[in-house]
């Protein structure tokens, strides 16, 4: 019997952020909110509060439930708090790279946490270091802190706007001062951020599931390019950027968001079920049973079953009492837990023609193990279906995805993938099919409704640091040629 770790071959989440202002149990609500957002990052977590005088803070490696409980209100008192779940996409996994980060600036204390990735962080960091800045971490979040500290603007909010206008990339940011809770979203809304209300308190969170867990009412999404400022007087909206069309990350629908979250007014669960409907229409196969690759493949597999009329069966059983090992920082750590995660349900698979439905295929390594496992459990045929298009380009906005040279669909033809995976057939959802499932039947090539660059190569913002890397490679190759 083969047991394996499926999550090792998934796009790795960016991070999750949470903020609350106006409740004396702010730290408790922040911990609950982060617990609901645990799927967005399991490497580390942190909470910073404000109690009227100080900014108590705790940051830990590991899961929220391991560290934030019991006497939390005593340890982290205050009526306002921000929190962060981390999976490192910029900066190595270490204590000094855990958010929120805090600094005493000329106008007072400022704590900040963000979800996403700045595509010009390295260039800005080099400039700041040349100008005398001293960095305590390797996170791109600290770049924002230094830009705020060094801004010549007289007012804090003007300094923050000045800082955000210098950065490129995708981010959802929460910040805390002695008087304000701040939320900000990048100009095209790549990373998500929503506003909630809990009694008289305001809440900010990456997803609506974090509002649900604390009983907060959903108010609205923070719009792309918008900054919201929450004080004792209420909430104010600031437009920090010229108007641009929204282009949120399409992977929120494919994989990242929790199925019970609502994104842009759409149920994630229903969208994924419609992806399965569309996948069945585009890539049919004769089979006896539809089997999801748990857990993220379940809604699409249900949709495939509904549309095709082929029965649904749980042919792979997941052990939910094991952490998601892809979040571990080393390959050795991930492989050490491979034998703990999934096992085949022979009663569903034996003697059957099986259609396996997964949400995506990244490196292909785990897909090979899945297919092998299902065949060894007695499946007569194995047909693999991906409820997203082929991933052929890496992400630079906060998804820790493989380099292009490691992306399975980028380095193999369709026929090569079938042979490598040892499947009877292989099918992917098309890009138009994905848009249709989301509710946008036409992809506008002039301005895509979503950031779908992993499928199309159409990156929505300048990739400053990456372009510099490519230029350096070309320069080195040129030097080699000259010699």
Q: Is 40 exposed, middle or buried (0-12, 13-18, 19+ CB in 10 A)?
A: buried
| Known binding positions for Mg(2+) | 296, 358-359
Strand, helix or coil for residue 228: strand
Identify the active-site residue in 15, 45, 249, 454: 15
Domain 267-442's class?
Answer: alpha beta
Percent of the chain with pLDDT over 70: 87
pLDDT at 11 over 80: no
pLDDT at 220: 98
* SS3 state of residue 60: strand
Beta-carbon contacts of 60 under 8 Å, excluding residues fewer than 6 positions away, are 44, 45, 46, 66, 67, 68, 98
Spell out the alpha helix ranges (H) of 55-109.
Answer: 64-67, 72-75
Known binding-site residues equal: 296, 358-359
- Known catalytic residue at 15: yes
What's the pLDDT tens digit per position in 252-300? Answer: 999 999 999 999 999 999 999 999 999 999 999 999 999 999 988 999 9
Q: Could you say which architecture CATH assigns to the domain 12-249?
A: 4-Layer Sandwich (3.60)
Tell me, what's the pLDDT at 441?
85
pLDDT tens readout for residues 331-382: 444 444 444 578 999 999 999 999 999 999 999 998 999 999 999 999 999 9
Q: What is the pTM of this model?
A: 0.89
Break the chain into its structural domains and give their ranges. 12-249, 267-442
- Output the CA torsion sign for 95, 109, 172, 461: negative
Rounded to whole angstroms, the Cα distance separating 316 from 356 reads: 10
């Amino acid at each position: 019997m083969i047991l394996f770790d499926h999550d090792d071959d998934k796009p790795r989440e960016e991070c999750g952020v949470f903020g609350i202002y106006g409740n004396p149990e702010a730290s408790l609500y922040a911990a609950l909110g982060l617990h609901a957002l645990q799927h967005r990052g399991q490497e580390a977590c942190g909470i910073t509060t404000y109690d009227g005088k100080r900014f108590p803070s705790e940051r830990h490696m590991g899961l929220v439930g391991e560290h934030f409980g019991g006497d939390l209100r005593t340890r982290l008192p205050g009526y306002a708090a921000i929190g962060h779940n981390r999976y490192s996409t910029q900066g190595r996994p270490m204590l000094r790279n855990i958010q929120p980060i805090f600094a005493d600036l000329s106008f007072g204390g400022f704590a900040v946490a963000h979800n996403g990735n700045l595509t010009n962080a390295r260039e800005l960091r080099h400039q700041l270091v040349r100008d005398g800045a001293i960095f305590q971490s390797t996170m791109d979040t600290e770049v924002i802190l230094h830009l705020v500290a060094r801004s010549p603007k007289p007012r804090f909010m003007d300094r923050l706007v000045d800082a955000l206008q210098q950065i490129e990339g995708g981010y959802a940011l929460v910040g805390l001062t002695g008087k304000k809770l701040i939320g900000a979203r990048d100009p095209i809304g790549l990373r998500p951020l929503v506003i909630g209300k809990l009694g008289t308190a305001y809440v900010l969170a990456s997803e609506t599931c974090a509002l649900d867990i604390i009983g907060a009412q959903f108010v609205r999404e923070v719009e792309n390019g918008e900054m919201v400022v929450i004080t004792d007087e209420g909430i104010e909206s600031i437009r920090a950027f010229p108007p641009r069309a929204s282009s949120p990350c399409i992977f929120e629908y494919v994989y990242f968001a929790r199925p019970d979250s609502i994104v842009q007014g759409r149920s994630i669960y229903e969208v994924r079920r419609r992806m399965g409907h569309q996948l069945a229409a585009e890539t049919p196969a004769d089979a006896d049973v539809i089997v999801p690759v748990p857990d993220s493949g379940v809604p699409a597999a249900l949709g495939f079953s509904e549309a095709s009329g082929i029965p649904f069966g749980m042919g792979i059983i997941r052990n939910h009492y094991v952490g998601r090992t892809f979040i571990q920082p080393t390959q050795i750590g991930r492989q050490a837990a491979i034998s703990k995660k999934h096992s085949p349900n022979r009663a569903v698979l034996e003697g059957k023609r099986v259609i396996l439905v997964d949400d995506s295929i990244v490196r292909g390594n785990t897909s090979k193990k899945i297919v092998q496992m299902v065949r060894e459990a007695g499946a007569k045929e194995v047909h693999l279906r991906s409820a997203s298009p082929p991933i052929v380009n890496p992400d630079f906005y906060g998804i820790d995805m493989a380099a292009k040279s490691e992306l399975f669909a980028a380095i193999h033809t369709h026929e090569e993938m079938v042979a490598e995976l040892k499947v009877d057939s292989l099918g992917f959802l098309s890009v138009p099919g994905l848009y249709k499932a989301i509710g946008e039947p036409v992809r506008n090539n002039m301005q895509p409704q979503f950031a779908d660059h992993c499928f199309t190569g159409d990156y929505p913002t300048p990739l400053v640091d990456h372009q510099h890397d490519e230029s350096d490679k070309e320069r080195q190759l040129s030097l080699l040629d000259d010699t």
